[in-house]
Amino acid sequence: MHDDSFLVLTTDGINFMVNSQEICDFVNQCHDPNEAAHAVTEQAIQYGTEDNSTAVVVPFGAWGKYKNSEINFSFSRSFASSGRWA
């Protein structure tokens, strides 16, 4: 967990509009988790989501350690947007 930067929990209003890499990029540009959650929800709204848009950003030990090009997402996109987890 010392290599992990953050965990982002989102509703389907975000997952259907913004992909996981974009979420990572938005969060990585922010200085704190509150700003990051706001950035993610605002981007989904700008993309035209019509569903609820909620994001929770949980910072881990490596918060702020990596730059955009170094952050990759794991399995969240396929898991969260599969439609099987309602």
Nearest-angstrom CA–CA distance, 84 and 7: 20
pLDDT one-digit tens code per residue, 75-86: 444 444 444 444
DSSP state of 86: -
pLDDT number for residue 76: 47
Nearest-angstrom CA–CA distance, 46 and 41: 9
Model confidence at 52: pLDDT above 60: yes
pLDDT one-digit tens code per residue, 17-30: 988 889 988 888 88
